[in-house]
Amino acid sequence: METPRDENGQQLILSEEVYNGVAEILDETLANTRAEAVVFCESNGYPILQKGDFRGLDLPGISSLAANNFSATSKMASMVGESGSFKYLFHEGEHNNIYLSNVGFNFILMVIFRADVALGIIRVYTKKAIEQLTELLRCAKKEEDKTKEFLDLEFKSLLSEEINRSLKS
């Protein structure tokens, strides 16, 4: 179970169910795109879940660089009048390419694929994955908020009872 942060900087707990949902979406994206690897990471570069072939690849390093890349282009976006950061970044190499996407709640989806794979396929299936991930995370956040609200009420009730008992003594 991972504890990334939401858009307000608060921790978002990924339950086993949500974690498995993310894994399913990454598996589907990997299969549909013929990508070499797919990484779901926090906006700070911490990899949460990865699928595919990572032999010879420094996963923490490339995830961190992807996060820094988004940070730099966010500043560039504001310099050209954009209100937020750019949604997608594409790096084209001679043999391999990297497609980076912003996912709600401050996450990044990174798709690493061979140069012979059509960018259009990557874009279509990555967009679908982002929509699914965003919905999954939105639902997880909503459930977590309900749980917190319930626990807060329960705690207040128990605390009130305990205070009343102490004052009666």
Per-residue pLDDT tens digits for 1-35:
444 444 444 455 678 888 999 999 999 999 999 99
Position 155 scores a pLDDT of 63
Let me know if residue 44 belongs to a domain.
yes
Residue 103: strand pairing partners: 107
Residue pLDDT, tens place only, 85-100? 888 999 999 999 999 9
Residue pLDDT, tens place only, 84-143? 888 899 999 999 999 999 997 689 999 999 999 999 999 999 999 999 999 998 888 777
Position 163 scores a pLDDT of 74
Let me know if residue 130 belongs to a domain.
yes
- 127 within 8 A of 109, measured Cβ to Cβ: no
Let me know if residue 8 belongs to a domain.
no
Let me know if residue 4 belongs to a domain.
no
Measure the CA–CA gap between 49 and 102, rounded to whole angstroms. Answer: 15
- 59 within 8 A of 47, measured Cβ to Cβ: yes
Let me know if residue 51 belongs to a domain.
yes
Number of domains in the chain: 1
With pLDDT > 70 as the criterion, what percentage of the chain qualifies? 81
Distance of CA 57 to the CA centre of its chain: 20
Let me know if residue 100 belongs to a domain.
yes
Instruction: Tell me which residue range forms the domain holding 51.
Output: 16-168
Let me know if residue 10 belongs to a domain.
no
- 134 within 8 A of 33, measured Cβ to Cβ: no
Query: CATH number of the domain that 125 lies in?
Result: 3.30.450.30
Residue 97: strand pairing partners: 92, 113
**Cβ neighbours of residue 24 under 8 Å, at least 6 residues apart?**
none
Let me know if residue 162 belongs to a domain.
yes
Position 50 scores a pLDDT of 95
pLDDT at 168 over 80: no
Q: What angle do CA 67, 69, 74 make, to 5 degrees?
A: 95
